[in-house]
Amino acid sequence: MGRIVFILGGARSGKSSWAEKLALELEGEGRSVVYLATCESRPDDREMVDRIARHRERRPSSWRTVEAPFTAVEELERAGADTVVLLDCLGLWVSNMLHAQEEQEDNGVTDFILARVDELLAAARRSRCALIVVSNETGCGLVPTSRLGRLFRDTLGWANQAVAREADEAWLLVAGLPQRLK
């Protein structure tokens, strides 16, 4: 039976490592793991290239990595009940869609993104896979000074709420310590 696990935290909170540990445990139960990487690798961004390399190095070679900056829903539709899908991370997926739809009105962009989040959750339930969603908690900081920054923070906050509502488990990582929310 499928389940959705939501892992939320700030920058460098340990959320990705903790999600990977959970996926490894589920792999030990005989499931295959698909890692949905939502970050687009850009050769001109050396820091991001290095960050992606560090993430790849710590993942087991048995895991299949799929770069899905926009196609997370479609990838989930291919997953079976014996699959663990680790989506890392929701914040980058939202950011990618936000930038792709930047010319639309703010409400239209938010509605589009939240509809995609609903599609993601529905695809996970239909596939009966175990879905682990990693996301950023961006609502605890200062109010962003730019319109786009505020739109991102607000849209991700609503997306996080949607995933948390549907999740069977929700966790908050703070300083590497997991706190169960649900």
Q: Give catalytic residues, as residue numbers.
A: 55
CB 88 within 8 A of CB 36: yes
Instruction: Count the Cβ atoms, other than its own, within 10 Å of residue 92.
Output: 19
State whether the Cα torsion 90-162-77-31 is positive or negative.
Answer: positive
Pick the closest to residue 88 from 74, 73, 68 (CA basis): 68
- C-alpha separations of 117 from 78, 114, 120, 166, 176 in Å: 17, 5, 5, 11, 26
What is each CA distance from 30 to 26, 65, 83, 125, 126, in whole angstroms?
7, 18, 9, 20, 20
Which amino acid is located at 34 in the chain?
V
